[in-house]
Chain A
Amino acid sequence: MNNVLDIVWLIPLLPLLGFIINGAFRNMLSKTISGFIGSATVLASFALSVFVILQVKNGNTYVAHYFDFINIENIRVAFEFKIDPLSSLFLLIITGVGFLIHVYSTSYMHEEPANDFAKYFCYLNLFIFSMLLLVMGGNYIIMFIGWEGVGLCSYLLIGYWFKNNDYTNAAKKAFVMNRIGDLGFLLAVFWLISKTGTVNFDEVFSPATLNKLTTTDITGITLLFFVGATGKSAQIPLYTWLPDAMAGPTPVSALIHAATMVTAGIYMIARSSILYSMAPATQAVVATIGLATAVFAATIALRQNDIKKVLAYSTVSQLGYMFLGLGMGAYTGAVFHVMTHAFFKALLFLGAGSVIHAMSGEQDMRNMGGLKKYMSITHITFLLGCLAIAGIPPFSGFFSKDEILAETFAHNPIYWGIGALTAGMTAFYMFRLYSMTFLGRFRGSEQQQHHLHESPAAITVPLIVLAILAVVGGLVGIPEVFTHGGHRLGEFLAPVFEQTNKYVSSHSTSHELTHQTELVLMGTSVLLAIIGIYFAWSKYSRYERREETNTGLSRVLDNKWYVDEIYDAVIVRATRSISVFFNNIIEKRGIDGVVNGVGKTVNYGARQLRWLQSGQVGAYVLLMVIGMLVLFIIQLFL
Chain B
Amino acid sequence: MDIKEYIALSLILFTIGIIGVLIRRNAIIVFMCVELMLNAVNLLLVAFSKMHAISPVAKTSLTYASDAQIFVFFIMIVAAAEVSIGLAIIVMMYRNTHSIDVNFLNRLKN
Contact = CB atoms under 8 A, between A and B. Distances in A.
B18 A625 contact: yes
A615 interface: yes
A625 B103 CA distance: 18
A616 interface: yes
B80 interface: no
B106 A621 contact: no
A617 B22 CA distance: 9
Nearest to B105: A617
A615 B106 contact: yes
Interface residues of A, number: 7
B109 interface: yes
A616 to B, nearest CB: 7
B103 A618 contact: yes
B87 interface: no
A618 B108 CA distance: 14
A622 B106 contact: no
A622 B21 CA distance: 9
B102 interface: yes
B22 A622 contact: yes
Contacts of A622: 22
Nearest to A625: B18
Interface majority SS (helix, strand, loop, mixed), chain B: helix
B21 A616 contact: no
B68 to A, nearest CB: 22
Interface size class on chain B is 10 to 19
Nearest to B102: A617
Interface in B10-25: 18, 21-23
A618 B18 contact: no
B102 A618 contact: yes
Interface in A500-543: none
Contacts of A621: 21-22
A616 B22 contact: no
Nearest to A629: B18
A423 to B, nearest CB: 96
Interface string A614-635: 0111100110010000000000
Contacts of A615: 106, 108-109
B18 A616 contact: no
A166 B18 CA distance: 84
A618 B22 contact: yes
Interface in B75-106: 102-103, 105-106
Nearest to B106: A615
A617 B105 CA distance: 9
Interface of A: 615-618, 621-622, 625
Ordered nearest first, which 8 A-B pairs have the shortest CB separation?
A615-B109, A615-B106, A622-B22, A625-B18, A621-B21, A618-B22, A617-B102, A621-B22
